[in-house]
Amino acid sequence: MAADRHIRNPFEMAVTGLGDAVGETGRAIAQARPRGAVSLEAPEIRRIATADIMDALRRGAADVGAARDDVFFIALIYPLAGILIAAAMFETRLTPLIFPLVAGFALLGPLAAVGLYEISRRRERGETVSASTPLAVLRSPVMGDVLRLGALLVAIFFAWLVAAWAIYAVTLGPEPPATVRAFATEALTTPAGWSMIAIGIGVGALFAAAVFVLSAISFPLLIDRGVPMSTAVQTSIRAVRANPGPMFAWGLTIAGLLVLGSLPALMGLVFVMPLLGHATWHVYRKVTGPAQA
């Protein structure tokens, strides 16, 4: 048999390494999982095209239109939480963390959207959707795995904040700025400030990419099929690895819509978050195929 001479690019190598790490660290959780789960098998991964991503967005928009009254209060939590935390940063004079906090809050988006996945799942089955539908996931037997995966995203979020503060400390710091205006002036008009912005964007992109690979379809998979957390994460990694082009386009779409949704004052996320949440469900379905009977 001829040897495989394919030379993997850094992205493929990183995704493969991440999958191996998740497999090792998640084995104990999978073995300890109580019986009664919906499924213990990972679904097959399908190849998709960029056109499928666009179709998922259209289907997600249709879900928002059908259930906008039911999801409005969920979407509202996202911008309100961001505004409140940003206000707290002003009060505690942790000004350098305001932008990393607001930008990094997107890392928690896949967890915040679990109720939206449930709405899309029920609409797909032709079931009635009501204001209580998003809360039904709280009674799901897989909620423990959902929370464990959510805790992983929270840990990555706080790791990003630590990294952001370290970047500030070695560029404009280590002392906090006297005022918000002073910080903005230094950040935008000095070489050290430009370095902070450039390094921050690069490091932040790495954190965002890690979260995307881990959670591209893992939360919908947990809710839909009840697989163990480690299986859901590994399947998400396999989905990205099998569809690098379309998934890269999907990641850029998410980033672009989140940036647009952050204006003004994060209030645009009231509309963007439901769209992304529902569209993520349809991306999951396209990658894994139709629901099992």
Q: Which range, 171-175, 180-184, 211-215, 270-274, is most confident?
A: 211-215
Domain-located, residue 27: no
Structural domain range at position 231: 47-288
User: What mean pLDDT do residues 139-167 have?
Assistant: 92
Q: How confident is the model at residue 35 (pLDDT cuts 50, 70, 90)?
A: very low
The rounded distance, in Å, linking the Cα atoms of 121 and 20 is 30
CA angle 4, 45, 272 (to 5 degrees): 125
| Residue 73: per-residue pLDDT | 57
- Residue by residue, what is the 3-state secondary structure of 119-184? HHHHHHCCCCCCCCHHHHHHHCCCHHHHHHHHHHHHHHHHHHHHHHHHHHHHHCCCCCCCCHHHHH
pLDDT band, very low/low/confident/very high, at 116 (cuts 50, 70, 90): confident
Mean pLDDT, residues 247-266: 85
Average the pLDDT over 145-158 and give the result. Answer: 93
What is the length of the chain?
293
Residue 42, domain member (yes or no):
no
Query: Phi, psi (5° rounding) for residue 174?
Result: -85, -15
State the total domains in the chain.
1
In a domain, 15, yes or no: no
pLDDT at 8: 45
Cα 53 from Cα 279, distance rounded (Å): 8
Compute how many other C-beta atoms are within 10 angstroms of the C-beta atom of residue 128. Answer: 7
Residue 184: Cβ within 10 Å count: 14
pLDDT-derived band at 76, boundaries 50, 70, 90: low
Examine the pLDDT at 232 and tell me if it is beyond 80.
Answer: yes
| Residue 23 reports pLDDT greater than 80 | no
